[in-house]
Amino acid sequence: MAIRTFSSLLRTLHQTPKAQTFRFFSTLLHDPPSPELVNEISRVLSDHRNPKDDLEHTLGVYSPRVSSNLVEQVLKRCKNLGFPAHRFFLWARRIPDFEHSLESYHILVEILGSSKQFALLWDFLIEAREYNYFEITPKVFWIVFRAYSRANLPGEATRAFNRMIEFGIKPCLDDLDQLLHALCDRKHVSHA
């Protein structure tokens, strides 16, 4: 049975493009992250909320164990720690041969929006666009619409809709529907 499993793994790897093979192996080696490791790193982020804290130095001991799944789990756990979560995300990006998953980008956008770090959120999106870190899709803007609506900033949600073009996205009916839903869901009917 082990030979059959190994041969199916080899067959899968043989069919997998080379660019994805490394990511497949790194996922096998690192996933799933232990809950203890997620708790440890989350505690570090919670203890280093001050921008002057040397968070990067403290996180250094964890760099050999970082995987995209670990980053996602830590970000989900630290959804109320906007600034430390952002610093953790940037720290992980600087680790050689590490790549964030698309999901981790979406989680960070959600965190920055829910913690009302809108200036940081827009800086992050502009940097992502300029350096092509990930494809900014309408889904990212839907997250931004909801964040502004939850923060009782309906005018900013509408401005975010208008800024989609800056990011190479031509707004469509689905995007308008998401904006209206976000506004109405938070009782901003007059703005809708």
| Domain span including residue 173 | 136-192
- Three-state DSSP class for 188? coil
Distance CA 129, CA 121 (A): 12
Q: What is the DSSP letter of 164?
A: G
In the chain, the number of structural domains is 2
In degrees and rounded to multiples of 5, residue 190 shows phi and psi of -65, -30
| Per-residue model confidence (pLDDT) at position 31 | 61
Which of 134, 152, 174 terminates a domain? The answer is 134
pLDDT of 35 higher than 70: yes
**Do 118 and 151 belong together in one domain?**
no
Measured between its terminal Cα atoms, the distance across the chain in Å is 60
Q: Is the pLDDT of residue 85 over 70?
A: yes
Q: Classify the C-alpha dihedral 126-130-134-137 as positive or negative.
A: positive
Largest CA distance in the chain: 65
Q: What does the alpha-carbon distance between residue 158 and residue 175 come to, in Å, rounded to a whole number?
A: 11
30 pLDDT higher than 70 = no
Q: Could you tell me if 97 and 71 lie in one domain? A: yes
Same domain, 83 and 165: no
Verify that 103 and 37 share a domain, yes or no.
yes
Tell me whether residue 175 is in a domain. yes
38 plus 125 within the same structural domain: yes
Distance CA 24, CA 13 (A): 8
pTM summary value: 0.81
Residue 187 lies in a domain: yes
- Are residues 105 and 87 part of one domain? yes
Looking at the structure, tell me whether residues 68 and 140 fall in a common domain. Answer: no
Of the chain, the percentage scoring pLDDT greater than 90 comes to 79
93 with 103, same domain: the answer is yes
- Of 134, 154, 180, the last residue of a domain is 134
**E-assigned strand segments in the chain:** none
Same domain assignment for residues 148 and 77:
no
Q: What pLDDT was estimated at residue 188? A: 83
Residues 6+ apart with CB under 8 A from 180: 192
